[in-house]
Amino acid sequence: MNRQRLVASLGAVIGIAGIAFVAAKLYSGRDEFIEALRQSDPAWLIAAGVAGLTAILGIGVVWIAIVRARDAVAPAGAGMRWFCVGQLGKYVPGGIWPVVGQGELAHRGGVGRTDAYAGTAVSMLSTLAGAATVAVVAGFASPDDRWVPALLLGLGLVVGLAVLGLDPLRRRAAAVTASLSRGRLTLPSALSFTRWTLFHVPVWLAFSAANLFAIIALNGPHGVGFTVDLVFVTCVAWMAGFVIVGLPGGIGVREAVFVSLMTPTLGAGLAVTVAVVARFVSILVDLVAAGGSVVVARRVDDRRAAA
C-alpha cells in the first residue's frame, strides 16, 4: 500500500506539473487561443468528436471480445454499457478506477470477477501495446527525427512478447501477477496478446484522426507527412498519460507531451489550443458513449422482455 501511495503521489505531482505547463502556455497565448476558437470550423470539430467516439467504441468491442475469450457471457449491448460506464472511472484520481468500474459492472452482469478483472487488465495492456505498435510504425515513417523513440518502443514490445512467449519468463510473470492479485490469473499467450494488440491499431488511427480534424478545424496545417508525425505524437502523448498512475484521465501529462512535441510544427499557441480542444472533445465523447450505451442497452432489454 505504501508503494501504491508513493506511485500515486508521484503521478499526482507529475500531473500537476503538466497542468501548470499547459496552463502557462495557454495564458501566454490566450489571445491566440481565443481567436483560434472564434475562427474554428464547427463541422470539423464534430468530425473530431465522431472519430473519438469511434475509437472509444472500438476499444469497447475488443474488450468484449477479450472477456468472451475467457468463456464468459458478455452480450454486445450490456457489454458496451459495462465498458463505457466503467470508462468514466478514469476521471477519478487513483488510476485503478476504470479497472474497478468495468470489472464490477461486468461481475454484476454475471461475469466471474476473475474473468472480468483479468479481461479488463488484458484490454488495457493491449490498448497500450496497440498505441506503441502504431507509434513505432509512424515514428520510423515520420519525416521528423522520431526513429530513436520508435526504436525504444519497438524493443519494449519485443521484450513484452518475449515474456509471454518464453515459458520460463511466462511462469515467472504469472507467479508475480498471482502474488500481486492474490488470485489465479491466466496470462494470455503471445499469439493471443498480439492479436488483441493488432485489433487496437484502428483505434489509434481513429484517435489520431480526431486530433487531425481538430487541427483542421482550427485552421492548422495538414498533409501526408504532417499526418504521419501527428499519429506518432498522438500515440506517445496518450501512452504518457496512461502510464502515469494516479491521474484522472492522464490530464496534464497527455497535453504537456503533445504540446512539447508539436510546438516546433504548430507553434506554441496552436499546439496548446489543439491539446485543450482535444481534451474537451475526449471528455464529451466519453460522456456520450456512456449515456448512449445505457440507452441502447435498456432498449435491447425492453425488446427482449416484450418478446
Three-point CA angle 53, 286, 96, nearest 5°: 125
Q: What is the pTM for the complete model shown?
A: 0.82
With 60 as the cut, is the pLDDT of residue 299 above it? yes
Confidence label for 272 from pLDDT (cuts 50, 70 and 90)? confident
Q: How far apart are CA 150 and CA 148, in angstroms?
A: 5
What pLDDT is recorded for position 220? 85
With 60 as the cut, is the pLDDT of residue 255 above it? yes
Mean pLDDT for 153-181 is 67
Could you tell me which residues come within 8 angstroms of residue 64 by beta carbon, excluding any fewer than 6 positions away? 74, 76, 79, 80, 83
Domain ranges across the chain: 2-27+45-306
Mean pLDDT for 115-119 is 83
- Helix runs in the chain, H state only: 2-28, 30-38, 42-68, 76-87, 97-108, 113-141, 147-165, 167-181, 190-199, 201-217, 224-243, 253-266, 268-306
pLDDT in tens, 67-86: 898 888 888 888 898 898 88
Main-chain phi, psi angles of 247, to 5 degrees? -100, 140
With beta carbons less than 8 A apart as the criterion, state whether 52 and 282 touch: yes
C-alpha atoms less than 13 angstroms from C-alpha of 185 in its C-beta half-sphere: 24
CA distances from 237 to 27, 119, 159, 232, 306 (A): 21, 25, 22, 9, 47
Instruction: Check residues 36 and 15 and name the one with the higher pLDDT.
Output: 36
Helix 76-87 with 268-306: angle, nearest 10 deg = 140
Three-point CA angle 149, 150, 156, nearest 5°: 90
Give me the residue label for grid cell 512478447: 161
pLDDT in tens, 83-106: 988 887 777 665 666 777 788 888
Q: Provide the mean pLDDT of the chain.
A: 80
Biggest CA–CA distance in the chain, Å, is 61
Q: How far apart are CA 94 and CA 47, in angstroms?
A: 31
